[in-house]
Structure 1
């Protein structure tokens, strides 16, 4: 039995070998698990096109023998199949399973989850949100999409108008990035050896590179700024001697070093053309040097009409040409110190402009004659009363040195209250001269008001009844007002009756039966108290 069994096994093996050689196709079609896809249909009749007997890894080589582009990617370690090691060493059938029918998709490409970073073109910046069909055209393989910038952006390229190909850039990435087409990253310093500074940094490329010419661009200032040259090339072509790239109008010219004329004060801010009226700034000859005297520029500003000569700097300086900023020392030069309000007065207020130099009088009246309210009656020595701080305020006239010292309320009264005329002399000093209208007694007590009244207050008086009259005021009489007894305006106080009855007749309960000598029983403390003698 063992011999028969072994003999049968050998026979089967030989039979299978014979069948595989003689009639392989019909047999393989019997054992094939299913139909292949439409693209592989023509290879279906011969399994050896895709399968190698007893070799799994050999099958991958057969796949790559047909798919040459994929094979090239795997060997070159590029593209989707070559960049990733896990994909590069994997068996083809692990992703692409065959024998499932003619219309089955064995690629299994899912756009939504595909990792584009595993390809040769990493998606970054503005490329990320793009739809696949923006770059991958319909009915074309995804791998056939070109990855150069020009393949997509040629229509947008402003450089396509360049007249010569040599003037065009080869790689867009030299200047542009995927984050934004208009955001340039071109390193002008490294690439061209021409560093962009100041306003050049923000200048548009085409401002210098006319007609898209990017090679052999002239680097001299005059090549671009010829139209800005106000000197019309008379100062040469080395513009950077004076001008900077920060701003064409800002000059770096060192006036001290290059002209020996230091610019100070307002001269620093003065435009060049204010002094340099002609286009050229150079000296034509030694004889025709640029004028440096003040008068050469400021003759039109001379309010003195040349009366004080041409040495303007003896009074004026560069900070301000005006009168307020003059450095003329009035006290030292004229022996007339400017004080108070005189300090703020403009020069021409006192010094009137004339064609001849005139010595100005230093007396107050020479300027203030029109302000003299006294009309010259007090003379010309105004400073005896007035000060330069204020013409009307702080009058320093000492009234106490006159025959009428000011006391009390008189010191607060304005001068013109008493001095009604412009002349301040020969004024009457009696009280009644000013206070006639205030006289309650209507002149019947005479003109010696100061016997009772004081200048502190007209209503406060100091008449001593006991000393200045023959009727002494005692007790309750001290509280009685004057007009209680003096109910009429009298010429003399002494004529007023002094007996009690003259005032107290209405208070007499005796109706005159005891006579008029009330003081025999009554006293001044209290009329109701009786002191019988």
Structure 2
């Protein structure tokens, strides 16, 4: 009995422990893991995902999910976004073996695919997820399998290039930039393709031809060997596509007579010269065909690279450089020979740039016709002013060679605007002289043409321009001309340089000092109306009675 009792107690204890173990485990684990994480079941694996006291950390997730870790590091895909850094915001565990580990906010079908780095547009937007995310579309399935990914459930491994999902019907002949021609709404028509950008733009009737008439197909899309010839299609000659109804009887090209708008539209009076290598523009369009093409040989090639192939050189070689005539189009256009299209900017590049008043001069005023050059003279031996302008100075300027250049005094802006430095003559203009007009000194030459002024053979002494109102009173012995500068300067007539103490025999001091000059220096005579007054300066006596006759008496006592 004791044995049975002891055995019963032992069995009871074992039963209690057996029944208590699941409850203890339930207190430690919130629930079973989903099947993909089943290998992490058990208390010893908790820290594989959970950080003590910190919950689930993304780094622990990425330690297993290495493919996602690589994409996050590269900044690619949905998980690289800052709003998806917390794994548990979308993924939850411990809800059972069959629990879906991804929480789709709003449902899987409403997922914003742009957040994954590939916006669904056009026909792509209507596709279900698993129409693209499937095993046969994964570029490297072995890599995902090695990372324990379920290829039927994974969203990884797809490329974003068209050819990652779609077969290339062009077999690589047109490159891999599909979107240059095709849109995402439909494969056909290729809305982005413009045949005008090819070597054979479609014009006229060609624009109405269906693609397969020129680009033949082979194989079938169902068998995966469909081929369409877009490269290597011959088109240089009409006969590459069209049968020659003339059976080779005509040597001329088809385009010589026929047009792309209609085979029956034969060229004649309505011949479209734009299709030739020389489209007719301007006055050329009004020229009769026979003016250029010889009768009986309308299709014989004509030289047309240069204007001189048809036109004579009216300038008779003036624009020939190193034996080659320059392009007429630099100055003329097909709209007409004149007016010239030669611009002021082009003239600035010539040996004589236009400046100042020359800019307003009509071309023909300078480039006048001559007997040797009926169309106008354009080449000159020099560019000196006298090539065009008569010298109004005649021989009045005693200058030769380079010193006789008009630019020494005049500017292109205006003939009357003179910038000559008068100091170069040895007679600098200062003070009142600088205010005088040129013609005040440079007067007309008697008997010369109007406008010819005297510039040479001019004296520099004052008396050559100014009358000596002192009538020679200050002429010294041996002098032919009075040196006015001894007393006067060019600021004004007042004798600023004259010092009565040094330059005269009578020193002014005492009551004499403040006297005006005219108190002692009286007029020599009464001048006629309009004449200058001449005062007597010398000879004058210096004794007192000569000025004070009534005040001079016998010396008083105490006076010297």
- TM-score normalized by structure 1? 0.37
Q: Which has the larger share of helix?
A: 1
Q: Which has the larger radius of gyration?
A: 1
